[in-house]
Structure formats: structure tokens, C-alpha cells
Amino acid sequence: MKNILAVILSLLILISCSKDETDSPVEPGAFSTGIFSANIGGVQWNAGTVRAYKQGIYTRINGTQEISDTQNKYSSMILFIDILHLNGPKLFAIGEDGNGLNYSAYARVEATPRNGDTKEIFYGQYVENLSLLDVTGIDSERIRGEFGFRGFTKTTPVDSMNVVNGTFNITF
């Protein structure tokens, strides 16, 4: 009886000391690959990391470029494009909801200044013949298209940044 109790006690100690293996959730789009590039404020931007994913009615693509050129004002830039109700190739106007207008495509650039100031965020607002997103293809594995927009800061609406000649071809 003593031996059985010792075995049970030993097993309980071993089981309680074992490492719990839990699956940590993978961030959406964590395994995306592809091309995401544009000319942002007169500087060629090419994302080093990209993501594309769909969740419910939302489709998001984003990319980050770390900028090593010390002459550049920014040390990194992240470009986001969010689309609502995307179910096939379509041309969208990029903008922010307001003034009675509702948009289905949104874009923003988050730029981190090299001098340590707070991040500057440029929100895409509709400018005729500039603020467009053309999704030329989408299926269960990939999204591709072209875009351009003018981004404005909400703190100083005069500050703007043109994003032109944008293109993406990214896996989900």
C-alpha cells in the first residue's frame, strides 16, 4: 500500500511540474508574402514585411519598411489599406467618412520620425483622380491591385503626403 501511494504521489508531482503546451494564436496575415510598394512623399517605399487577411466584412493589407537612409525624415513607415465588403475585383474611392459621405476603402500611413518625435499619421482623404484603390484580383490565396491617395494629418490638416504609383500582390 505504501508503494502504491508513493507511485501515485510521484506521478502527481511529475504531471503538475510538466510544462503546459498551449497554442498561442497566430496573428492574422502572419504568413503573408508578396510585394507592396508605392512612392510616398516623393520617396520610394517597398515593404519589407507584408500582411493580408480577411475577417468578416473586412479585408486588410499592410506593410512596413524600416528606412536606413539617415537623410530621410522617417525611420519607418507602415502603410495600411482597409476595405469593407470586398468580394471581387472592384474600383474604390479612398477616404474618411464624413460630410455625409461613406467610404468602403480607407488608407493611412504611420510614419515614425527619426528624431524621436511622436508617430505622424496621415489619413487618406478623397482627392479627385488621386485617391483610388483598384483591386484587380482577389481569391482565397491572394489579393492584388493598385492605389494612390493623399494623406492628411488630423492635427494639422494642412500637412499632407501624396502616396502614388502604389501596387500590391500579397498572399493571404
Give how far Cα 78 sits from Cα of 61, 111, 167, Å.
11, 7, 15
Q: What ranges do the domains of the chain cover?
A: 28-171
Residue 149 predicted with pLDDT over 60 = yes
Number of continuous H segments (helices) and E segments (strands) in the chain: 1, 11
* Highest mean predicted confidence (pLDDT) among 7-21, 46-60, 92-106, 155-169: 46-60
Q: How far apart (Å, rounded) are the C-alpha atoms in residues 46 and 43?
A: 10
Whole-prediction pTM value? 0.80
